Amino acid sequence: MHPNKAFRVDDNAKLLGFLRARGFGTLSAVTVAGLQGASVPFVVDADINRLRFHLSRGNTLVPTLASGADIFLSVMGEDAYISPDWYGVENQVPTWNYVTVHVKGHCSALPDDDLPSVLDDLSAEFESRLAPKPPWTQTKMDDAILERMQQSIQPFAISITSLEGTWKLSQNKAIANIRGAIEGLEGRDDASSTAMAALMKQAAGASS
């Protein structure tokens, strides 16, 4: 997390909402082979402060996680480079604005009987974002093929012990300087810069 307190977000509901909206992150844990990581989609059970996901049983993390392990999950949001020229004042340096949440928790294996519900919840969450497309469900699969595929997957749950959020949106700058950076971002023709400009506008409006 960034050491500047101006960028910190401690609102647990907001952080869980961000995790649900993103639904994808990089999971790390220490194994007998050293530090290992995996990219995982997940669903959020906000009422019990829990995340659920699955991994291929061939993943190097599976033996460690299945026996119970402390984990670190990094979930990134929007990010963009900020040129010091955009602030319109001297003696500024280049920086990077970004939104991220770090999750610390304890991971354990779920019973195999929980796998269908994990898969259902994952597909339901992300298929719902494709509306009005009719959602894909496991019922579209041949039973024998689905069973064979499920045998190669291990479901997991993470009990969250801490959430740390950073919304680094130039809040430590004067409003006029922030507006200059927003204009600079809007002058670029890429989705990341446009999205970051919108977040900075929202943050600046809340603070002005």
Domain that holds residue 137: 5-172
Predicted structure pTM score? 0.93
pLDDT in tens, the chain (208 residues): 788 999 999 999 999 999 999 999 999 999 999 999 999 999 999 999 999 999 999 999 999 999 999 999 999 999 999 999 999 999 999 999 999 999 999 999 999 999 999 999 999 999 999 999 999 999 999 999 999 999 999 999 999 999 999 999 999 999 999 999 999 999 998 999 999 999 999 998 855 4
| Helix or strand holding residue 184 (H, E) | helix 175-186
**HSE, side-chain direction, 13 A CA sphere, residue 93:** 1
| Residue 195, pLDDT score | 97
* Domain annotation covers residue 164: yes
First to last CA, the chain: 25
* Domain annotation covers residue 198: no
What sign does the CA torsion over 141, 142, 145, 148 have? Answer: positive
* Domain annotation covers residue 182: no
| Residue 94, pLDDT score | 96
Residue 105's CB is within 10 A of a number of other CB atoms, namely 20
* Domain annotation covers residue 202: no
| Residue 2, pLDDT score | 83
* Domain annotation covers residue 31: yes
* Domain annotation covers residue 158: yes
Task: Provide the residue count of the chain.
Answer: 208
* CATH code of residue 93: 2.30.110.10
Retrieve residue 116's tokens.
Answer: 């269908």
* Domain annotation covers residue 189: no
Domain count for the chain: 1
* Domain annotation covers residue 180: no
**In angstroms, how far apart are the furthest CA atoms of the chain?**
67
| Residue 38 main-chain phi, psi, to 5 deg | -150, 145
